[in-house]
Chains A and B, each alone.
Chain A
Amino acid sequence: MSAGQGRVDVEIESKRAEDAAAGKSHPNTCPGCGSHYRDDELAASLRVCPQCGHHFPVGARDRISQLADSGSFAEEDAELRSADPLAFFDLRPYPERLVEAEMETGLGDAIVCGGAAIEGEECRVAVMDFAFMGGSMGSVVGEKFARACESATAGAVPLVSVSASGGARMQEGILALMQLPKTICAIEELHESGGALFSVLTHPTTGGVLASYASLGDVVVAEPGALMSFAGPRVVAQTTREKLPDDFGLAESNYRFGHLDAIVPRSELRPTLSRLLRLFRKAA
């Protein structure tokens, strides 16, 4: 669950510190084959390694510009921010983590929503950003996703969800867990109004987001190599002492076990989504 969120979050923090100390592993170095890229080279290839096909992470704003027609995106609910309902304090106060995340990412929280067109097909999009506190889902992510469902219903257009999340946000306690049923109830309303949801799972989509809206698309696809598991590999290994298969929780394994409709390489994502949008378009 949120085990994923914090763990990944912590790993990133510690990795950054180690890397800075060791002066190695530039973020543009491919973990798959070790190739180095300039920012503009990676951007031109949609942040996919031209050598080995490794999919680098993509932030919410970059993702939207990769998928949406130029100039078509109109953001909604950008003013929402997380509160600190529990006055949560671990090693640092939660509000401090929020401010830092906002300064680092330029985002109000871990999801960006709004209206867009994909190859001319109108839709709403809800795109997560793993860089904002491990893409964890608290009240704001849940609220923005639910509003995106309502906006899609109001506009009579489908909703495209792109997830990247470590799970529920521990710092909001039980209210973070309640975002699972909240987003699910919103999807139920969308579906009852005849609306469609397409869910794109990107690396990683774990814990509470996988156990709620990311799994409930009318069509569910994932990027190659994306980790999509309810419990993260480390939790599973520690709890069960089982030897994990090499492809544990990966999109490829999930496809084999019947949990995905397709694995879609990033270059194919935009045409695939526009195809789905056309297929689901109701006769006027």
Chain B
Amino acid sequence: MPSEAEIRLRERLSKLGGMKLLRGAKLSGELDRLQDQLDRLRQEPSAEDIWRSVELARHQDRPYTLDYVQRILDDWFELHGDRGRADDPALVTGIAKLDGRTVVLVGHQKGRDLKERTKRNFGMAYPEGYRKAMRAMALADRHGFPLVTMVDTPGAYPGVAAEQHGQGGAIARSQAAMARLSVPTVACVIGEGGSGGAVAIAVADRVLMQENAIYSVISPEGCAAILWRDAGEARKAAAAFKPDAAHCLELGVVDAVVPEPEGGAQTDPDGAALMLREGILAALEGIESLDPERRRRERRAKYRVMGILATT
């Protein structure tokens, strides 16, 4: 006898179009886990709920990657530079201990005050940043260290130099590098998961998303400017493309939603860090013991089935 939540989940899934759902089989095996989370999350996020996530994801006091590094990891040693051209402060990489094991961390980094925001380029990385990330990934693979990434960017930087240095190719290659890794990988969307610049470091065995983070193909303002021809319609755009955690979980894009303290991560960064740490450890536990080749195969298989199709 299916539970109420299962029925609700199935209803919501079938509402997604009424056609063959390629992910149906996979979801049924994970219903228990999904159920717990769906119960925790609001039933169907309203347009207001979604916009609240957008605002919280961008909140000026929201913890950033290095805030979590400080609270979750021990003995952090930052690695600088792409060994070719530059060190991109919008994307940080380093090695540290997580609960006794050495891990490699890669994450976007925004700035807290005006000076640091400028230095960090608002978390918008250049190709040099993604090349630094790939260097850190290769290091992790070489030494068998699990890789943890933290995603928090409005998007990859759209500038003349960024294009000249190969922004598109760098984002593509960074994803390919993650698809190739033999070590366990966990990606956490901790704020803004903005488009290609976000997924560049988020192709992982387990993708976690904080309750009030957003993950999207384009910014609400960008979408509104194009489809509504008015950037002021960002709320409508966000309601239409649904970048909130509940929808990302439902669509199979993230594997789990990590709860935040009441009112959002900025109200209690220590509490938020504790929950994120628990989420990362639980995710690692589920994948660390797997055979590396099987882990890599399953990672690719997960992405291979993403999307919803119809046939004539």
Contacts and interface: CB of A to CB of B under 8 A. Distances in A.
Interface stretch (B89-97, B195-203, B274-282): B195-203
B17 A10 contact: no
Interface stretch (B52-60, B108-116, B141-149, B240-248): B240-248
A181 B179 contact: yes
A188 B300 contact: yes
Chain B interface size, as a band, is: 35 or more
A253 B161 CA distance: 12
Nearest to B165: A257
Interface string A235-273: 110011010110011000100011100000000000000
A178 B303 contact: yes
A99 interface: no
Contacts of B241: 86, 88, 170-171, 173-174
A187 interface: yes
B303 A181 contact: yes
A41 to B, nearest CB: 35
B306 interface: yes
A10 B248 CA distance: 27
A183 to B, nearest CB: 9
Interface stretch (A65-73, A118-126, A134-142): A134-142
A244 B175 contact: no
Interface in A171-193: 171-182, 184-189
B226 A7 contact: yes
Contacts of A114: none
A221 interface: no
Interface string A71-92: 0000000011111111111110
Interface stretch (A52-60, A154-162, A210-218): A210-218
B158 A236 contact: yes
B309 interface: yes
Interface stretch (B75-83, B132-140, B166-174): B166-174
Contact of B309 (A9, A89, A140, A173): A140
Given A80-B309, A81-B312, A10 B172 contact: no
Given A91-B228, A239-B159, A139 B216 contact: no
B172 A212 contact: yes
A83 B309 contact: yes
B3 interface: no
Interface residues on A, range: 35 or more
A209 to B, nearest CB: 9
Interface stretch (B28-36, B64-72, B217-225): B217-225
Given A178-B306, A188-B176, A239-B158, A230 B215 contact: no
A230 B304 CA distance: 23
A247 to B, nearest CB: 10
A9 to B, nearest CB: 8
B1 interface: no
A185 B304 CA distance: 7
Interface string B10-26: 00000111010000000
A173 B216 CA distance: 6
Contact of B217 (A1, A140, A188): A1
A79 B311 contact: yes
A114 B169 CA distance: 26
A91 B169 CA distance: 33
A178 B168 CA distance: 16
B107 interface: no
B307 interface: yes
Contacts of B227: 6, 90-91, 170
A207 interface: yes
B224 to A, nearest CB: 9
B163 interface: yes
Contact of A215 (B169, B198, B248, B311): B169
Given A1-B196, A6-B227, A139-B309, 19 more contacts: A80-B310, A80-B311, A85-B17, A146-B304, A170-B226, A173-B242, A175-B306, A177-B198, A180-B196, A182-B304, A182-B307, A184-B172, A185-B300, A207-B168, A208-B195, A211-B172, A212-B171, A230-B163, A240-B160
15 contacts: A3-B222, A7-B226, A79-B312, A83-B310, A138-B307, A173-B242, A175-B307, A179-B306, A181-B178, A184-B203, A188-B180, A230-B162, A244-B160, A258-B166, A259-B169
Question: Considering the complex of A and B, which 7 residue pairs feature the smallest CB-CB distances, nearest first?
Answer: A139-B307, A231-B158, A6-B226, A210-B168, A90-B227, A230-B168, A173-B241
